[in-house]
Amino acid sequence: MTTCLECDAPLTFPPDLIDGEIIPCADCGAELEVLSLSPLQVGLAPAVQEDWGE
């Protein structure tokens, strides 16, 4: 059971989870990043960064 890194509440994932997806914690609102699908690992998602390229 993968839990939130902030408040330890259980996390819920969509069936078609994608690599790198951002999953909000329903309890504390923290944003978790899917670091790998198998094994399923999450980490705290980095702050928003403006993206500009050609």
Partner 1 sequence: MTNELMVVKLGGAAGIGLETLCDDVAQLRRDKRRLVLVHGGSDETNRLAEQLGHPSRFVTSISGHTSRVTDRRTLEIFMMATAAINRRLVEQLQARGVNAVGLSGLDGRVIQARRKEAIRVIENGRQRIIRDDWTGTPERINAGLLTTLLDLDLVPVLAPLGISESGEALNLDGDRAAAVIAAGLKAETLILLTNVPGLLRNFPDQTSLIHHIPQGEIESFAQFAEGRMRKKVLGAAEALRAGVRRVVIGDARQPAPVSAAMDGQGTVIG
Distances (CA, A) of 5 to 1, 10, 54: 12, 10, 36
Query: CA torsion 32→35→46→3, rounded to 10°?
Result: 20
Report the distance separating Cα 20 and Cα 35, nearest Å. 6
Return the residue of 15, 38, 39, 54 that touches partner 1, per CB under 8 A: 54
The residue from 20, 26, 28, 40 that contacts partner 1 (CB under 8 A) is 20
Residue 18 sits in the site that holds partner 1 (CB under 8 A): yes
Q: By C-beta, is 3 or 24 nearer to partner 1?
A: 24
By the criterion CB under 8 A, which residues form the site for partner 1? 18-22, 33-34, 45-46, 48-54
